[in-house]
Structure 1
Amino acid sequence: MSDDSLNIETITLSSDDRRTEYRLFVSHSWDYSDEYENLIELLEEANHFEYTNYSIPEEDEIDADTDEELEEALRKGQIKPASVVIALAGLYSSYSDWIGREIRIAEEEDKAILGVEPWGSDSTSNYVERHADQMVGWNTDSIVDAIRDLSP
């Protein structure tokens, strides 16, 4: 085979060619909203990283009459459009019914799940660890890199 018969094109992607906008849903407990707010701050400060936040802050609570209606609203309006579901892996996550439901919905919708260990925590939620596609520490670069890696 001669060199003339091979037509191989090499494409090199620079960091500027990577997607820079992501759709995120952060599963969190309103009782521990400080962790959520701190995570959002980290994401806001990240360089070359734009995202749409599909999470539900407490002040924008979904109006639903039943748990089934709330679950369906979460599925359609928040989790389904997200490219990555982030689960804050504080120990409280193991005991939160709604965090468990959100993770289950994410799995049913075939969404990547990123577990984030809380800042300075010695232990994390085993539930989140078992269901996460990837676990990272509380570090902006680690979180952003994992979101980029997990995004379709």
Structure 2
Amino acid sequence: MPSLYDYRLFISHAWKYGDDYTRLVNLLDNAKNFSYYNYSAPKEKPLFPVGTPLTNSDIAKKITDKISPSQITIVIAGMYVQYKDWIQYEIDESKRMGKPILGIKPYGNVITPTYVSNNANEIVNWSTDSIVSAIRRLVK
């Protein structure tokens, strides 16, 4: 049997909303016939060590470095209101680099923020099949 293709994903997230991120990663980990590499900064290996003085410029560069090798950016739309500036930056950088953007409506949400819906190549509901199928369609 041939090996699976490893999709290279950047998942936009904020640790305050870590449960949604963790749920999404678990969903992708358990998806049948789907393999991926996660370019996001995991909680156990943050962009910067604790106590490092941060500037917005430093953070932006690190985020750009994470998006660069990915093939697609995934945005959990429910995080948008709290982290609008950084999520807009991630969306804008992804577009600048020609990366498709997949918006995911959090479970139970009906409304998707306008900035996400206007910039996403596709928006899907919170289900393994719809997310994995959209990744496969958008990554060429």
TM-score (norm. length: structure 1): 0.81
CA displacement 1:39-77 (0-9 Å, x = unmatched):
11110111110000001123322126321122112212x
CA displacement 1:77-96 (0-9 Å, x = unmatched):
x1010001000011x40442
**Whole-angstrom CA distance in 1 between matches of 2:44 and 2:113:** 26
**Whole-angstrom CA distance in 1 between matches of 2:122 and 2:130:** 11
Q: How many residues align?
A: 135
Candidates 116, 119, 128, aligned match of 2:104: 116
Q: Specify the alignment match of 1:74 in structure 2.
A: 63
- The structure where helix makes up a greater share of residues is 1
Partner SS for 1:47: coil
| Unmatched 5+ stretches in structure 2 | none
Q: Specify the alignment match of 2:90 in structure 1.
A: 102
**Whole-angstrom CA distance in 2 between matches of 1:60 and 1:100:** 23
Deviating beyond 6 angstroms after TM superposition, the runs of 4 or more aligned structure 1 residues are none
Partner SS for 1:143: helix
Q: Specify the alignment match of 2:28 in structure 1.
A: 43
Candidates 33, 54, 60, aligned match of 2:45: 60
Structure number, greater radius of gyration = 1
**Whole-angstrom CA distance in 2 between matches of 1:151 and 1:98:** 23
- CA RMSD, 1 decimal: 1.9
Candidates 86, 90, 93, aligned match of 2:74: 86
**Whole-angstrom CA distance in 1 between matches of 2:98 and 2:81:** 21
| Unmatched 5+ stretches in structure 1 | 1-15
Identity, % of aligned positions: 40
